[in-house]
Structure 1
Amino acid sequence: MTVTEPSNLPSPTTGPQAGRVVSVQVSGEHGFSKPAIERVLLVEGVGVEGDAHAGVTVQHLSRVAADPSQPNLRQVHLIHAELFDRLAAAGYSLVPGDLGENVTTRGIDLLALPVGTRLTVGEAVVTLTGLRNPCQQINDFRPGLLKQVLRRRDDGEVERLAGVMGIVSRGGTIRPGDAIDVALPDPPHLPLARV
């Protein structure tokens, strides 16, 4: 498995991890950023209640235009707060929700987790489906930011650092401060790819 960014976080291959929810966000509009709120309700098989991207089939506008019958593998978007720390060191001051995520975490190397990892977050369970594919909207939000979250390594492989996507496998409420437990799928582990 390839770890996509240097980290001092526990490796997902060494055993269970535990992290925390830093912030939760929702927006009923197809905009870019999402405001932080007190709690979100995840609905099994649908996504975050009240969010524009919730649905059994795809809700991201570009994917709807391509094929509206596709299953929605992007019901929940999670970003690790450690990314914001790294971006701050590069001169980009961001807060949770700025990049459009529903759940901001700390203490888990989300990008290193394999497909099918189950995150128990508060009362809910989110099963990871893949990586967010950063797009030009990130540069529209902050010029130059796309190069910070979508870059090419020395070996030519593209790194996507703007978080992970998942589906809701068990509904429930998530609040800031909630613990996050990680359960890896049975091997073989497949690295997350863009969805």
Structure 2
Amino acid sequence: MPSDPPKLSGGNPSGTGDAAKFGVVTVSDRASAGIYDDLSGPAILQFFLEAIKTEWHAIYRVIPDERPLIEDTLKQLCDKEGCCFVVTTGGTGPAPRDVTPEATEAVCERMMPGYGEQMRAISLKHVPTAVLSRQTAGLRGKSLILNLPGKPKAIRETIDEVFVSIPACIQLLEGPYIETNDEVVKAFRPAGLIRKTESAT
């Protein structure tokens, strides 16, 4: 029985934050060929549903482990679709067809190595093979691109923690002001980036 399609939007349009557009890209030969259902992309979308209070919309793609296609997809989501945050899942290990980090580095103008370091540190709490991950992150224009692991459990272990700093990063890129549900993720911002709400003035 086919699973329900993932929700591609959420949040509160009347909140104090700004509407945001996200890109979610599952990189998998087998999922893109329909050999099995993609569970990883929907896990990221489910995180957005639970964690993001601001209105958001997502563009979701499932593509094979082909570097030119990964690069073109990332460029399209950043340049044409205007996604402030693009998340990939899959293709970050040492196998010959794991080329997501190379595609990410090729399209980014500046890298953000701290995210890769943090994600590996998080995953090492759970599995020793986390050292094999080559996850990275970088900036293309006003977009942040982040590589996540391929398994839903590892995705949630990682993004639930690493997302704490992502709203501030997006804001510094002149992107939308993203509010989070504190019970899931409490976003951290330096004082100068905190938006005063009408009730606080």
Q: So what's the TM-score if we normalise by structure 1? A: 0.25
TM-score by length of 2: 0.25
Larger Rg: 2
- RCO higher in 1 or 2 (8 Å CA, sep ≥ 6)? 1
Between Structure 1 and Structure 2, the one with more strand by share is 1
